[in-house]
Amino acid sequence: MNLPSYSQMIAAGALFFYLSAIFCAVDAIIRVRTAQGAIAWALSLLTIPYIALPLYLVFGRNKFDGYLEQREQIANETRDLLQRTHHALDEFLIDYSDELPLYNSLYNLSRTPSTRGNCLELLVNGQATFHSILEGLKTARDYILIEFYIIRDDELGSRFTRILSQKAREGVQVYLLYDEIGSRNFHRTRMCRQLIQTGVQVAAFNTTQGHRNRFQLNFRNHRKIVVVDGKQAWVGGHNIGDEYLGLSKRHGFWRDTHARLEGPAVLGVELAFATDWRWATRSTLDIRHQLEPPRRGDSDVLVFASDPASTLEEASLMFHQVIVEARYRIWIASPYFVPDRGIVSALQLAALRGVDVRLLIPDEPDGPVVGMANWAFTRELLPAGVKVYRYQGGFMHQKVLLMDNKVAGIGTANFDNRSFRLNFEITLLVHDQQFCGQVQDMLEDDIVNSRRVTREELAGKPLWFTFATGVARLFSPIL
């Protein structure tokens, strides 16, 4: 029996490689959610397969296999909880009505009911946010749920460690979940070891779990959640790290926003954490739920948790619907503004029908490609009358929206492809005129610290700059 020669082995390997690239090109055409992304992947796989194939295997898919099954399992498990608390929640549930058409249209996407009787506190910047969270953790008697995209073993991380460890020693059930890519070295830190030693249950979200996800690094759990005893919850843009207190030499002052929530809507935040914990550990949270949610305020809240496991692009549809619903104002603050064509068109049409459309983005974006893409979309939006402001008071990281004087959104989702299609995100949509007024005052202060981009400024940019923004825009489906 003759063994194959070295050249034959190389030829067979090359053939297998090209056939794999063709198979992945077909897969991209079928599965990639945007036409631009499908075309980009297919052409790359067919023309430069040796480069494109490994990249596609790692970054190509935007469907998170296995998670949907876990979410259905946790939904079945929590259905009993909702039934047991129905007598307590019934008076807080908001029925379909003409008064809240936005909530009606988003109900099927959110998978959680909107509730009345909530109270919210707007937390501006790191000092206010972490003071509120740390003081809230000290009040825990039964359980603490805490989930962040980034957790650093620094001075702020040490403050969290001391409180969480003490609570665990007191018998409080403490569950901590982190994204293994955003916090890729956290499992090796002194902070992580101390938390585990004192009884804190620590888990990585582990997006590479499951045989089909083994090489997928494209998904992130970008949620920032804290829940104490089912009575208080915190959601917003901050992670755990000294830079979020403005102590970074690179970024300087860090402009961000969080919100503290009390009332029946806390259960929606808790369910988002429970779903993530189920995926990460294959186990159900063993906690004593707060079964009698008291009325805390007058805010209607929809907890909107989005993820890449769903058939529909939940975050993108949510933002699109908010823009469409706007009658006289839509203000958006986002550090990463790289939207898809549908969002761009919705913003253009809103401005053309007379809505005050304002976008607030950083003047110094976190990355040159994202920065250039921002300029490309600014060039498209200005002619329609959209006002674009570039924040100059430091690095702006908040994810906030304000629609008319009716709905404010505080959460973790950016206006980019990653948040629309690849990340696990959570947003609090608040229907409360007084809270909207507070958000308006906050954003007006931010605009004072910003400069407005003009069409004359864009026209004065050199040719190379215009070309560079156009090239960056081509990468927008994968940024």
Token look-up 């839509």 returns: 330
C-alpha span between 321 and 409 (Å, rounded)? 13
Is residue 409 within 8 Å of residue 400, measured between CB atoms?
yes
Least Cα distance to 147 among 58, 215, 240, 77 occurs for 240
Non-local (6+) Cβ contacts of 259 within 8 A are 120, 121, 122, 123, 234, 235, 236, 410, 428, 430
Residues involved in catalysis: 222, 224, 229, 397, 399, 404
C-alpha span between 139 and 329 (Å, rounded)? 39
Non-local (6+) Cβ contacts of 3 within 8 A are none
For residues 260-270, one letter each, b for 16 or more C-beta atoms within 10 angstroms of the residue's C-beta and e for the rest, the string is bbbbbbbbbbb
Which CA distances in Å does 44 have to 30, 49, 63, 478?
A: 16, 7, 20, 13
Give SS3 for 145: strand
Scanning 282-418, the segments in alpha helix (DSSP H) are 314-325, 341-352, 368-381, 417
C-alpha span between 273 and 276 (Å, rounded)? 5
C-alpha span between 354 and 376 (Å, rounded)? 23
C-alpha span between 230 and 288 (Å, rounded)? 9
How large is the angle between the packed helices 368-381 and 463-474, nearest 10 degrees? 100
Least Cα distance to 351 among 376, 374, 373, 323 occurs for 323
Non-local (6+) Cβ contacts of 308 within 8 A are 62, 63, 64, 67, 219, 421, 422, 423, 424
Q: What is the DSSP letter of 263?
A: S
Least Cα distance to 102 among 430, 461, 350 occurs for 430
Give SS3 for 296: coil
Backbone angles phi, psi at 430, to 5 degrees: -110, 125
Counting other chains too, the contacts that 36-41 makes at CB distance below 8 Å and 24 or more residues apart are: 36/476, 36/477, 37/62, 37/417, 37/477, 37/478, 40/474, 40/477, 40/478
C-alpha span between 424 and 447 (Å, rounded)? 29
